[in-house]
Structures are given as C-alpha cells and as structure tokens.
Structure 1
C-alpha cells in the first residue's frame, strides 16, 4: 500500500515549499526593516533554539504517542502562530520583541513536528515495500523541488506584497500539509500490544519506562554508534555554515551587489532545481552507488565553490553556473545519509534516536547567523564568504581521513530490514 508514502511526500512538498518561502522572506523582512545583520541573525537564533530543544525532548513522545499524531498536531499549531506574524504586522502591532516571541513559538512547534515527519519514514517504507534509498531519494527530490519553488514564490511575493505578507503562504502550507497527511495515512495503525512485537514484551516494557529513561535510552544507543555520531556532528557544522549563508550572507550579497530579493530567489531556485534533479538520480540509482565515494565527490562539488564565487562581484551567470553544479551534487547527500541513519536505528527507538540526530544536526544553526552577521559587519562580505567556504571544505572532507566512515557502504540484507514495527499513528 503506497498511498501513505506518496501522501506523505505530497504533504512534505506543501509544507517544505511554505517553509522555504519563510526562510527567504523572514530574514529579508528583518534586514530591510531594521537594517541590522545582527538583528537578522538574532531572529534566526530565537527560532532555532526552541526548535532544537523540542526536537530532543519530543523523541520519547513521538515513540509513545505516534509520529503521525505529533506531526499533524504541530502543523495545526504552526498555522496559527506563523499566520499571526503578517496579521500583526499589517495591523501595526508587531514589535521586535513580539516577533522574537512568535518565531520562538514557531520553532518550538516545528522541532517535534519535523522530527515526527522523519520518524514516520520506516513505517511508510514498510507499508509501501520499497528500498529505503528510494524513499529517502524521493523525499530529497521533494525537498529540493520545494527549495526551488519556494525561492521563486518568495522572490515574487516579497517584491509584490512585501516580505511580511509572504509569510501567509508558509502559514497556509502548514494547514494544508496537516490535512493531506491525515487523509493519506488514515489507514495506518500503530501495532497493537497483543501482536507479539518485541521479544518477551520488551516493547511494552520500554513504553512503561519513565520519560527520562526513555530519553536516555535513545542517547545511549546514539552514543554507541560512532558512524551516526559522526554524521550528526558533520551535518551540525555544515548546517551552521549554511544557516549563515542563507539567513545573512546571501541577503547581504543580494542587497550589496544589486538584484535584491528577485536575484536572491533566482539563485536559490537554480540551486533547488538542480538539487531536485540530483535527488531524482539518487532515488533511481542510489541503491547501486558506492556511498562513501559518492559522499566525498558530491561534497567537493556542492560545498565551498558556492561560497567562493560570491566573495567578489562576479557576474550573475557565473553565480548561477556554480549554483547549478552545487545543487546537482547536493541532491545525492540526503538520500545517502538518510538511508544510513534509518538502517542503523532499531525500530522501537526510531523516534528517540532520529530526533536526537536531527537535534544535533540543528544544534549549531542558531550560532551560524550570528557569526555570519558579526563577520560581515566586522570584516566585510568577501572575507565572510571566504572564511565560510574554507570551513565548509574542511568539515566535509574530514571523513576522507577517518576509515570508520567507510562503514556507510555496508547495506543490510533485505530480509534484515525489519521496519514494520515503526510507530506511525
């Protein structure tokens, strides 16, 4: 039964498109209204900190209540919170402190909501009976396509109705996403307690543990898997740099060298479009590619070059050419790393461990915009781009000298991929 998988993909397409609109519109709105890169970074900080904390704390709740319920509930809450920002601004009631409070609440809802959307994947794969890399590749395609569409929509909306009102699209996307997911996965049910899943009632005993013990169980498993920890810390560092790039460096570039939000939208759209093409290739052929070699090659292409080309006033065609190559390479990354993560986590711990991993991946993101804003203010855009690009290269190439990373090439036998126990409801 593939309706739940494809319905989830549609739900993600809607939600991610709206989120990408917000990712461009919100920082540009703060930058234009305050003329402060530091305040722009501060808004990102207030959103990301609760997002990360609630990702960690929500893991046991996802495993106990069900990923489907948590995801739908958080999306409905996000509809209300995000929609309040443009409404208050248009009414003249949005002060900077209120904006910080609203983005913090939005982050607090998005944290467990995103974690739940990730934790439901093994159950969807089991229901659809497709290879894990097919599902992660299709999701990466959706994510990259959403980046492209979101950038195009955001650039147009910001130019026509203003950055604040563009956030209404993000708010509406949460509501539509919740409706689609609720419909598509209505037939999925959490395994019953009497079904015999879990040796000697181990699953029932685990659910009876106190909340703190359940949270600790996820951390103990993650701490014992060096590959998963390595992935989490590598992605945490690159996400920090990417957060500075998206929230501060790119808006400053667009404003400094002309083009404004329209040029910003075009660059993100080209990157997202070619990333979607790369993700389609990964979904089609990813199961046959060597993961370790593919990781190294694609990060060489999609990492530092996109920073270096923006360090000077290069023509837009050069920026777009690098964006296209970088986007295509980046399309292979998430399908590879996603498949490795899901394959290494036992089904009863999917919610907790995947939440911890994504929380670690997001942990340094609040620092990125602040560092980016401080670096631009103190040393200028060119230096900031060169520093960020060099750091990106070093972080992503560290696995080249760590033999433990070669374990990502190991794929489990089909018979061993027991995903049916993953909670979905």
Structure 2
C-alpha cells in the first residue's frame, strides 16, 4: 500500500483507539479522583453540547484551510486536553472543575477532528492510488478493531498503571495520530475549488455556514442518507446504552453486555473486510439492499430479547450488515458531497450523530419506565423500520453507480448567491 492511504488509515486507527480508551478510562479516573458518580455524569453532559456546537460551526474553518492541517490541529487539541490533566494533578491537584474544563476543550477537537478526517477522503483516493471501495472497507475494518481493542486496552491499562499514566498514554495516541498525518504531503490537504458550488470567496462565515446547510437540506440524496445514519445511531445508542444493560441485569448476567458489543465489532470487521475486497464488484444497489435488510434482520433478532444466544447472533448480523452499509455510504459521500463544502456538510452530519446518541438513550429510558423493557426494544427498533421504508422508497437511492445523477445533484443544490 502506498504512503498516502497507509498514513491516513494509521492515523485514523490511532485517533479512534485513543477516543475508545478515553471513553472507558476517563469516567473511571473521574470516579477515582472525585468519588462521585454524578461527577462522571457531569463531565459527559458538560462536553456534549460544546462537541455538537463545534461540529456545526467548525466546518467553515475546515472548508477554508488545508485539511491535512485541520486534521493535525484537532488531534493536537485532543492530545493537549488529555495531557493537561496529569500536569494539573502534579501541580495544583485535580477536581471536578478541571475535568469539565478539559473535557470541553477536548470536545472542540473531537467532532471537528472526525470531520477533517472525513473531508480528506476524496484526496486520499486521488493521491493514494486506492479505490474508494477499498479505502472505506479498510476504514470500517480498522474502526471495528479500535472498538474491539480500546475497551480491553483501557481495562488493562487501568489495572497496571495509575490514572495519570493512563492519561499520558491516551494523549500519546492522539499525538501519534497527528504526527502520522504530517507524513501526508501538504498538497493532499489542499481544497479543490471548482464548479458552481464554489461560493466561499467573499462571503462571511455565517453565509458560508448557511450555504452548507442549504446544500445538505436541498439534496434528496444527502437528506435520505443522513436520515438513515441518524436512525441507526439512535437505535444503537438506545440498545447499547440502556436496553441491553437492563436486559442482561434482569437475566443476572451483566458481564455479557461486553460480549454483545464484541459481537457487533466482530461483525463490522468481517463486513468491512468483505467490502474492501469485493465492494467494487457488482451493483451498488445490491450492496445497499444487503446492508439495509441485513441491518433490519439483526435489529429484529436483538429486539426480540428471546434468548441470550439470539441476542449474540443478532449483534453479529447487525455488525456485519453495518460494515457493508457503512462502507458503501462512505463511498457515496466521497463521490457526491461537493469538495469545497465537505467540512460544512459533514460537520453538520457528525454533529447531528453526536446529538442523536444521548437522545436515543433518553428515549429508551422513558420507554422502559412507562412501557417495559420488551416494548421499549420493539419501539426503538421501529425507528429503523421508518428509515428502512425511506431507504427503499427514496428515488435518490435507486441508482448508486459511480457518477450516476451527480451532475443532476449539483444542479439541484446550487447555492443562490443572492
């Protein structure tokens, strides 16, 4: 594999691994330092809104500067926010306020970091001598590996080392991701400004931000795929964050939850690998339907909550379908989002995904409280059924072949300068 895709994928893996470790280790460290469960929850709550706002607003910046640079800067922000905690611990001592402050600073790098890395994808294809199918399949595979390795690494590190050392190691992964991104030639991150949609020159930031939202909402393809992505995030967050923990608690086997998440990750690994190998073959509509219907099947099996082994089976099927579906959607995003607006559009999408996860958990909590666990599982999964109907019926998702309807999409979403 050439340097450009190899460096990109290595940086992506390290960044995601660092986030995965932090998501497990940081709440444990907050508990160790403060002794407060509410404190750990306060840190998570305090960082959620800034992360969403950063995703919405920083897309304009990502569309203005070299995207290699923006990717490096966001990783450095994440590394600095984590590394500051052990430094503060050695000087003045940590308290809840410091955790919240550094959590907020770190959140300013998280969603924009995802957006900057997503915005780089077309350039990696152009400069890296790799097909978009293989690149996205490998990315899904590495994402699954990070989700598998992160919790295990966090648990091991917390057992062997003290909290400050674990924070240094976590910060080092984000720093390593930034340094590896620097291996990409500077030209890879340059923004190609061509076509009618290039409205950046001479417009202020708010106008450019509105342009991005207008393009997103004016494209039937982008609206449909965003709805599908939001639906699966809401459903997965509800299942993983509350419904399955409650189910395994009722079954008196709470430790099994981790194995379900592992089954999803293993399925995603298989699905991503399969798409990397064979994604360029056959019709994309076929891949789309397999992913869409496979996701429906997996969710249906899980939602039945009939037996633990069925939940595991459904989790693997769901992961497998998600690996295929996610890879294909990534390829389509590479081809169909205007190059000069990728930061604004994908920043908005990533911010919506970030906000959707806690909404799914809250919805699950309310449903369990008022309807019971089984009814809640069925109700949450019915959200995906609505998305399924949209996915099957949407005219913009009928022809997904390379270049199909691209000129038509650009004409539909031309931004009015008036």
Q: TM-score range by the shorter chain?
A: 0.7 to 0.9
Compared with structure 1, are the counterparts of its residues 294 and 106 closer, same or farther at alpha carbon in structure 2 (3 Å cutoff)?
same
Instruction: Provide the rounded CA distance (Å) in 1 between the counterparts of 2:256 and 2:95.
Output: 28
Match of 1:69 in 2: 69
Q: How does 1:81-160 map to 2 (within 5 A)?
A: 81-83=81-83, 93-95=94-96, 99-157=99-157
**1:327 paired residue number:** 319
CA contact (8 A) 2:66 2:190 kept: no
Match of 2:415 in 1: none
Question: What secondary structure is seen at the aligned counterpart in 2 of 1:64?
Answer: coil
Give the distance between the partners of 1:310 and 1:168, measured in 2 at CA. 40
1:304–1:392: 8 Å Cα contact kept in structure 2? no
Residue 215 in 1 paired to residue 209 in 2?
Answer: yes
Question: How far apart are the structure 2 equivalents of 1:265 and 1:127?
Answer: 39
Whole-Å separation in 2 of the counterparts to 1:377 and 1:218 = 39
DSSP 3-state at the match of 1:80 = helix
Q: Which residue of 1 aligns with 2:281?
A: 288
1:271 counterpart = 2:258: no
Output aligned runs, 1:205-244, within 5 Å.
206-244=200-238
Residue 399 in structure 1 maps to residue 396 in structure 2: no
Cα displacement (A) at 1:227: 0.8
Structure 2 gap segments, 5+ residues each: 408-418
Answer yes or no: is the 8 Å Cα contact 1:140–1:334 preserved in 2: yes
- Inter-CA distance 255–152: structure 2 relative to 1 (3 Å threshold): farther
Contact 2:227 2:387 in 1 (8 A): no
2:290 is matched with 297
Could you tell me how far apart the structure 2 residues matched to 1:254 and 1:62 are?
Answer: 43
The alpha-carbon distance between structure 1 residues 241 and 87, as it changes in their structure 2 partners (threshold 3 A), is farther
Q: Deviations over 1:286-332 (max 9, x none)?
A: 122333343333233334645753764834x4433332222211110
**Residues 28, 251 of structure 1: 8 Å contact kept:** no
Q: Does 1:12 align with 2:12?
A: yes
**What is the CA distance between 1:353 and its match in structure 2?**
2.4
Alpha-carbon deviation of 1:355?
2.1
Q: How far apart are residue 411 of structure 1 and its match?
A: 1.5
Q: Deviations over 1:246-288 (max 9, x none)?
A: 334444455554555x644333223212211111111121122
Distance 1:370 1:270, change over 3 A: same
CA distance 1:22–1:167, shift in 2 (3 Å)? same
Q: Is the 8 A contact 1:15 1:170 kept in 2?
A: no
Shift of 1:9: 0.2
1:14 deviates by: 1.1
Higher relative CO (CA 8 A, sep ≥ 6), structure 1 or 2?
A: 1
Report if the CA contact (8 A) 1:233-1:361 is conserved. no
Tell me, yes or no, if the aligned pair for 2:74 and 2:109 is still in contact at 8 Å: yes
CA RMSD of aligned residues (A): 3.7
Separation in 2 of the partners of 1:248 and 1:85? 30
Q: What is the TM-score with the length of structure 1 in the denominator?
A: 0.80
TM-score (norm 2): 0.81
In 2, Cα distance between the equivalents of 1:114 and 1:254? 32
Q: Cα 1:365–1:323, aligned 2, differ >3 Å: closer, same or farther?
A: closer
Q: CA separation of 1:227/1:361 partners in 2, compared to 1, >3 Å: closer, same or farther?
A: farther
Whether contact under 8 Å (1:149, 1:269) holds in the other structure is no
Mark the CA change 1:264 to 1:26 in structure 2 (over 3 Å): closer, same or farther.
farther
Say if 2:240 is the partner of 1:246: yes
Mapped to 1, the partners of 2:246 and 2:93 lie a distance apart of 26
Q: Distance in 2 between matches of 1:34 and 1:216?
A: 42
**Which runs of 5 or more residues in structure 1 are unaligned?**
417-425
Matched residue SS, 2:236:
helix
Tell me the residue number matched to 1:420: none
**Contact kept in structure 1, 2:71 and 2:117, CA below 8 Å:** yes
Distance of 1:385 and 1:165 partners within structure 2: 40
Change (3 A) 1:347 1:390: closer
Alignment of 1:407-418 (within 5 A): 407=399, 409-412=400-403
